[in-house]
Amino acid sequence: MTSRQYVLVGLLGLSLGCATTPGDVRLRSDGTPMAEKCSEKALEVMQYLRLYVGESAWVQLDANQSRAKSITLYDGPIESVLDQDVGTLEAPVRLYGRVWTGGDQPVIRYYEAHFMNGGGRVPICAVARLGFGQLRKRPESKPGTAILDSARAGMYIVDEFR
């Protein structure tokens, strides 16, 4: 663990608890999540880690399906892998979040980053995106799933989930 990570763990007080569970949001009629605020702790940690709104990097969407030609995502928790450095997060880093597969494309929100070199988990706010409709589900996707043509997407830092 780097000294920066030790300081960060100290800053967090080893407690990531909050009043509500990240990702526990109301859904629209099509099954996509409504807006959600980032926790104050996540905003504070992102500032410390120099993770500024709009910064991005490539991620493997599902750690269990890395580098596959197409992947299937399911509603619920997701573990992704950061392929590039962003801010002071040095790849590889595990990203933990949630997937909603309702609508034309899945919604993926990340709530935690986990350092793979011995560090702990820290709260963040990020989303997975691809432009030009490249994150759209394939027509054969069944309810509760999203079959995608790419195992990779961009991970973007946000200050609120919209």
Question: In the chain, what are the domains?
Answer: 3-10+37-161 (2.40.128.260)
- Nearest CA to 114 among 84, 87, 88, 81? 81
- Cβ atoms of 113 and 121 closer than 8 Å: yes
User: Tens digit of pLDDT for each residue in 32-60?
Assistant: 999 999 999 999 999 999 999 999 999 99
40-48 helix and 3-12 helix, angle to the nearest 10 degrees: 160
Identify the H or E element spanning 79. strand 76-82
Residue 131: what pLDDT? 87
- The mean predicted confidence, pLDDT, of the chain is 88
Backbone φ, ψ for residue 86 (5° rounding): -145, 130
User: Tens digit of pLDDT for each residue in 101-140?
Assistant: 999 999 999 999 998 877 789 999 999 999 888 899 999 9
DSSP 8-state assignment for residue 89: B
